[in-house]
Amino acid sequence: MTFEDFARAHGLIINHTIPHRWVAVPTTDHPHKRNGRYKVIGDVGWVQNWATMDRPEMWKGQAPLTIKSYVPKDDREELAQKAAQKAAWILKQCTTETHPYLERKGFPDERGNVWQGKLVIPMRRAGRLVGCQLISGDGEKKFLHGQVTKGASFTIDAKGIDIFCEGFATALSVRAVMQAIKIRYRIHVAFSAGNMKEVCRAFDGGIVIADNDASGVGERTAREIGKPYFLPPTVGHDFNDLHLAVGVFHASQSLKKVLIDARREDAETLPRSA
């Protein structure tokens, strides 16, 4: 994989590379902003999409590696603790209200945690608050500096089938569809395709709702996870885009086959009675 392909797989839009310095570039989720950055030196490079990554990832020839030592371990732990504390403080300051981002995503009456004009989505790992995602009215997404994102998620729990997805708006659309067809759900928002793999490790069964991004990362990740998955038919769409385009009924019919397959797989893994 070339460095350019590696960067595109993480959502960065690069026409040509500029070596030896950090370069800010647009991303596929924010094409009109410089929400990504990269640096490349010979056969080593780093990329970061601020909307989906809490730290850069490293590319080296054919072997991309997560930079676990990019920040010294003691410093990372201190930053993570401070981020968790800040997230708790932010949530205490939040008011419950509607938000322009939710309106744009088809949920004008949905109320959420709002702080300083930003929608706040708490992120937990093993039940413990580790940070939050902040979403502005125009859809720009940020994590708190230093927070833990690996394995962290936000859950909408109706005590039903586990459903894993990347974004909060996708989760709201999945919830609307599941409520319409009267099937209980437990929706896990993982905030990125890569982190969805981490979140899924803790659960048997369930289904994945993948984003059909142009890079193909969403579908590749869903295949690697190995659970039944649903992929919107249009390149560039996530499940929220599908919901807005075709409505709740048609979106629910599209999802039903995956739900049936998941139920069949779950039934096959149950022990047979004597």
Asked if 47 contacts 37 with a C-beta cutoff of 8 angstroms, the reply is yes
Pairing state of beta strands 128-135 and 23-25?
unpaired
Domain ranges for the chain: 3-66, 96-269
Give the Cα separation of 144 and 121 in Å (integer). 11
| CA distance readout (Å), 197 to 39, 108, 141, 154, 193 | 26, 31, 20, 14, 7
The sheet that has 65-66: what strands, in order across it? 23-25, 36-41, 44-49, 57-60, 65-66
- Please check the confidence at residue 102 and state whether its pLDDT lies above 80: yes
Q: CA of 122: how far to CAs of 91, 131, 252, 258, 263, in Å?
A: 8, 6, 27, 28, 30
At residue 265, the pLDDT reads: 66
More confident residue, 124 or 32: 124
Q: List all residues 6 or more positions away from 151 whose beta carbon is below 8 Å from its beta carbon.
A: 125, 126, 195, 198, 199, 201, 202
What is the 8-class DSSP label of residue 273?
A: P
Question: What's the predicted TM-score (pTM) here?
Answer: 0.75
C-alpha pair distances (Å), 79 with each of 2, 130, 194, 216: 32, 11, 22, 33
Q: What is the pLDDT of residue 268?
A: 54
Rounded to whole angstroms, how far apart are CA atoms 53 and 143?
8
% of the chain exceeding 90 in pLDDT: 59
Mean pLDDT of 243-248: 96
- 187-226 pLDDT tens trace: 999 998 889 999 999 999 999 999 998 888 899 999 999 9
Candidates 44, 41, 49; CA nearest to 14 is 49
